């Protein structure tokens, strides 16, 4: 275990790296925590990357740079950027044929604002059922059962989405 006592929480990402932090969202925003596959899009107010702990191809998070936890605290610039990033992330997932359908989740229970962009795959519906009720079970299953090839596929999809953003994202 690391010795820095100021950092109170620990996470192990899906590549097996251990991270210590006070707030994961702040650690990601300050790039103190390096998320698997790297940042996909680094905006002015938010950034887009893969969920660090759950290896599902195209499972993305939008993370604000400010430590806030609610849509009601976002300013107009932040809202605009979040809207644009959701648009391009969903377009990327669909146009790159990663998944036909996604689920968006934002929980104020979390102390740092983030949005989950969760791709829906057939195996999820077949194994667990449809709808947000099952997201936690699906995440747990992916975390516990991802093979080396699954992880490679997740990293490959991250690269493809990053390329998509480079080629298509228009910040205006």
| Out of 20, 25, 59, 116, the residue judged to bind Zn ion by CB under 5 A | 25
d(CA 121, CA 155): 17
Q: How far is the CB of 110 from Zn ion (least distance, A)?
A: 9
Torsion of Cα atoms, 121 then 49 then 170 then 160, to 10°: -60
- Residue closer to Zn ion, measured from CB, 112 or 160: 112
Contact (CB, 8 A) for 30 and 66: no
3-class state of residue 47 by DSSP:
strand
Binding track, positions 92-131, relative to Zn ion; x by CB under 5 A: --------------------x-------------------
Q: Binder to Zn ion among 66, 67, 94, 160 (CB under 5 A)?
A: 67
Interface residue with Zn ion, options 26, 54, 60, 93 (CB under 5 A): 26
41 and 48 Cβ atoms separated by less than 8 Å = yes
Query: Which residues have a Cβ under 8 Å from the Cβ of 167 and sit 6 or more positions away?
Result: none
Binding span for Zn ion by CB under 5 A among 2-10, 16-24, 32-40, 94-102: 16-24
Residue 63, SS3?
strand
Question: Cβ closer to Zn ion: 25 or 49?
Answer: 25
Q: State yes or no: residue 11 binds Zn ion (CB under 5 A).
A: no
**Least distance (Å) between residue 121 CB and Zn ion:** 30
Q: Which stretch binds Zn ion (CB under 5 A): 3-11, 25-33, 97-105, 144-152?
A: 25-33
Helix, strand, coil shares, percent, the chain, to 5: 40, 20, 40
Between 66 and 143, name the residue whose CB sits nearer to Zn ion: 66
For residue 11, what is the enclosing H or E element?
strand 9-12
The residues binding Zn ion (CB under 5 A) are: 23, 25-26, 67, 112
């Amino acid at each position: 275990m690391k010795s820095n006592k100021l950092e109170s929480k620990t996470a192990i990402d899906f590549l097996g790296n251990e991270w210590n932090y006070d707030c994961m969202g702040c650690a990601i925003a300050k790039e103190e925590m390096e998320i698997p596959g790297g940042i996909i899009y680094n905006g002015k107010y938010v950034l887009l990357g893969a969920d660090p702990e759950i290896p599902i191809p195209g499972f993305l998070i939008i993370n604000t740079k400010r430590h806030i936890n609610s849509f009601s605290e976002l300013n107009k610039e932040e809202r605009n950027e979040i809207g644009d990033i959701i648009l391009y992330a969903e377009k990327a997932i669909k146009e790159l044929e990663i998944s036909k359908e996604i689920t968006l989740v934002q929980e104020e229970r979390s102390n740092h604002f983030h949005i989950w962009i969760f791709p829906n795959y057939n195996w999820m519906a077949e194994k667990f059922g449809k709808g947000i009720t099952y997201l936690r079970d699906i995440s747990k299953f992916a975390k516990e059962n991802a093979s080396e090839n699954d992880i490679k596929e997740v990293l490959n999809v991250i690269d493809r989405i990053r390329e998509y953003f480079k080629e298509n994202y228009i910040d205006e």
